[in-house]
A and B are shown apart, each in its own frame.
Chain A
Amino acid sequence: QTVVTQEPSFSVSPGGTVTLTCGLSSGSVSSTHYPSWYQQTPGQTPRTLIYNTNTRSSGVPDRFSGSILGNKAALTITGAQADDESDYYCVLYMNRGISVFGGGTKLTVL
């Protein structure tokens, strides 16, 4: 059973920079997992942020960026704003059409 790992929670100060990561319980994440990232505020539908590791979805500000850092996928938010306070989910493509969500990171901006 493939487990995608994310930090359960993270906090950042307004205006600060934060990097959330997405790993595998066994093995390394690479660009061939085509990581994507989604933002979800409580009670709302997920919003697509990043796909194919580092491509921003339409309308997503450039302070959101994706990358591979070491053996994990990463989502970096620069100049954090109050409305960035959300849950963030990564998804890894595991080939043969199967995708797996991570457990999500609850980001607090304070």
Chain B
Amino acid sequence: QITLKESGPTLVKPTQTLTLTCTFSGFSLTTSRVGVAWIRQPPGKALEWLALIYWDDDKRYSPSLKSRLIITKDTSKNQVVLTMTNVDPVDTATYYCAHITYFYSSGSYYFDYWGQGAGVTVSS
């Protein structure tokens, strides 16, 4: 059974760095065709794709946030960490991590398992 759980601070001050951890079970990030993505949702707004890390440590970032994001994995701990620098109140959101299944034939993927989400407020 695949599960994911996000953790991190609930309150961050503007200009600070936000670090979120996704701890998962039921799969390994050393297994091919697997990855973990981060997605966020501001209150009352739509979901937004942020970043993705594949089993082979390849990484992808949202073009609009690329300069502020870093995604890493620790396979020994079954964790994926998202770091977002220079946060702003507009970054206030629920942050989800999700397991992705990758398709070699197309290079595409989809989000098949989701964490419960972690709420983050950016405020002074």
Q: Point out residues on A near B: beta carbons under 8 Å.
A: 1, 32, 34, 36, 38, 40, 45-48, 51-52, 57, 89, 91, 93, 95-104
Contact = CB atoms under 8 A, between A and B. Distances in A.
Contacts of A101: 39, 46-49
A36 B49 CA distance: 13
Interface of B: 37, 39, 46-49, 52, 54, 58, 60, 62-64, 96, 103, 106-117
Nearest to B64: A1
Contacts of B47: 38, 40, 46, 89, 101, 104
A100 B65 CA distance: 13
A91 B62 CA distance: 13
Nearest to A45: B114
Nearest to A96: B60
